[in-house]
Structure 1
Amino acid sequence: MTETTPYDADRARFTRQALARLVLCDHAVDVADSARGLVATENDPDTGPGGRVSQAFQLIELAQRALASAVIYERERGSSWSEIAQYLGIDAAEAGARFAADLDGWDKAFDAPYRLDEAGRKRIPQLPTAAYDPSWACDQLDRWAYLQRLGIDQHQAVSSGLVMAAPEEESSSVPP
């Protein structure tokens, strides 16, 4: 697919490390928002039998997705499998095998950031949304962090710490 999208030039401003960090931030927000739903007790009577288990199970699934994103981010920033594995309580080979499919999908999505639907008309992003449209993700994540007071009064608590591409890298990574 040699056609460009409106997001290609914008995405080129970010390093792969920064894009991976945005995806991790986005997945962490999903975990935090899901966990928040388990805190209040006022609506317990409205929840059917097993409902809170369903919410907790969804939280685990979201946390596993965040973990895979964290591994991708750590690999993008140069962490070794040994360094990652020590926090997982497994050996380096097992860590590499466990997350190989996630890393492979991440790498392939950069080769083909989108695919066409069956009709050949609609582009379907292969990158996670936060990496496909990083400017939108920065706006959303900065706003979320500000409202949660994570950066106290920092309006760019997420985007200010990203490793951006050097200007020469930007121009070379945009498809012709």
Structure 2
Amino acid sequence: MSEPIPDDHDRAAYSREGLARLVLADNATEVADSAAGLVGTRNDAGTGFGGRVGQARQLIELAERTLNAAIIDEAERGSSWTQIAACLDISAEDAEERYSCAVQAGKDAFDEPYRPDETGRRRIPQLPTAAYDPNWACAQLDRWACLRHVGIDDRQAVSASLVMAESAGERIPAEEETTR
């Protein structure tokens, strides 16, 4: 389409499974941060009627987007519709019918990360930001996890075990990739 940009090279170091996991982690932080907004009471007096309902509704929307990201992640890991459906407590046929479009859209975005705009001169990213710029996402997500003590005192709680691009036919977790 056009010349590669630095993010293209950075993204190539990650497997599709690793990128899907980053997108899931990024969505999960949005859910956690949104839920945290409902915890504090200090601003209740200034919250208009129905405000917390709006926040809770937004939380559901973020959770639904996170569920889609989890299903795309599971598909990239090789999970079957039967395995995914068992976790959703629905039939495999229902799971495939309900979520196959999201999985296909995720696969299409990994295959073609950009689409041309209507003029054909600009590239429009198709990937979520975490997959488009995975090095930035790893830094942000590792920082988020460290500040919240996810993986207690682990400064690479997110990035350390991501599956990187295949090298000589083997999948390489990120923590091993850095030692090679």
- 1:99 and 2:99 aligned: yes
> Which residue is equivalent to 2:178?
none
The ranges of structure 1 where at least 4 consecutive aligned residues each deviate by more than 6 angstroms after the TM superposition are none
Per the alignment, residue 143 of structure 2 pairs with: 143
Cα deviation per residue 1:85-106 (whole Å; 9 max; x = unaligned)? 0111100011011111111111
Which one has a larger percent strand, Structure 1 or Structure 2? 2
Distance 1:168 1:122, change over 3 A: farther
Name the residue aligned to 1:114.
114
In the TM superposition, 1:5-154 aligns within 5 A as: 5-154=5-154
What is the CA–CA distance in structure 1 between the aligned matches of 2:104 and 2:2, rounded to whole Å?
Answer: 21
How far, CA to CA, are the matches of 2:109 and 2:162 in structure 1? 20
Aligned length: 169
CA distance in 1, matches of 2:112, 2:168: 22
Q: Distance in 1 between matches of 2:89 and 2:56?
A: 23
Instruction: After superposition, give the CA deviation of every residue in 1:49-103 in whole Å (9 maximum; x if it has no partner).
Output: 1000000000000000000000010111111111110111100011011111111
Letter of the 1:38 counterpart: L
Task: State how far apart, in whole Å, the 2-side matches of 1:96 and 1:2 are.
Answer: 35
1:166 Cα deviation (Å)? 2.8
**Cross-structure match for 2:155:** 155
TM-score with structure 2 length normalisation? 0.89
TM-score normalized by the length of structure 1: 0.91
Instruction: Name 1:172's counterpart in structure 2.
Output: none
Deviation at 1:110, TM superposition (A): 2.2
Deviation at 1:121, TM superposition (A): 4.3
Identity across matched positions, percent: 60
CA distance in 2, matches of 1:166, 1:9: 14
Whose relative contact order is higher, 1 or 2, with alpha carbons under 8 Å and at least 6 apart? Answer: 1
* Structure 1 residues without counterparts, runs of 5 or longer: 170-176
SS in structure 2 of the partner of residue 164 of structure 1: strand
Report the Cα distance in structure 1 between the residues aligned to 2:147 and 2:116, rounded to whole angstroms.
36
